[in-house]
């Protein structure tokens, strides 16, 4: 799961999160706050770019499947 819209005019195929969340994916890329979500086992399912940068990742795709312990929390 990943939340980022393409800036290339839409020639890229949507990511799984973009398909699942639709317009919400666009909104989450625009908010200036950290946003993340997890499954019931506390595994990260996704985040926005702001949160990815806060935890030291280059992109939100890198957080999928990780736990807090994987990020040093």
Which pLDDT belongs to residue 6?
39
User: What integer is the mean pLDDT of 29-36?
Assistant: 90
pLDDT tens-place string over residues 40-65:
999 999 899 999 999 999 999 899 99
Which residues have C-beta within 8 Å of that of residue 27, sequence separation ≥ 6? none
Give per-residue burial for 28-63: e unless 16+ CB within 10 Å, then b. Answer: bbeeeeebbeeeeeeebbbbbbbbbeebebeebbbb
- pTM tops 0.85: no
User: CB-hemisphere CA count at 13 Å for 35?
Assistant: 15
């Amino acid at each position: 799961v990943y939340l980022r819209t393409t800036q290339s005019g839409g020639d890229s195929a949507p990511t799984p999160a973009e398909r699942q969340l639709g317009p919400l994916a666009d909104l989450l890329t625009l908010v200036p706050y950290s946003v993340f979500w997890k499954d019931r086992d506390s595994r990260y399912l996704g985040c926005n770019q702001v949160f990815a940068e806060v935890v030291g990742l280059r992109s939100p795709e890198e957080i999928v499947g990780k736990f807090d312990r994987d990020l040093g929390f």
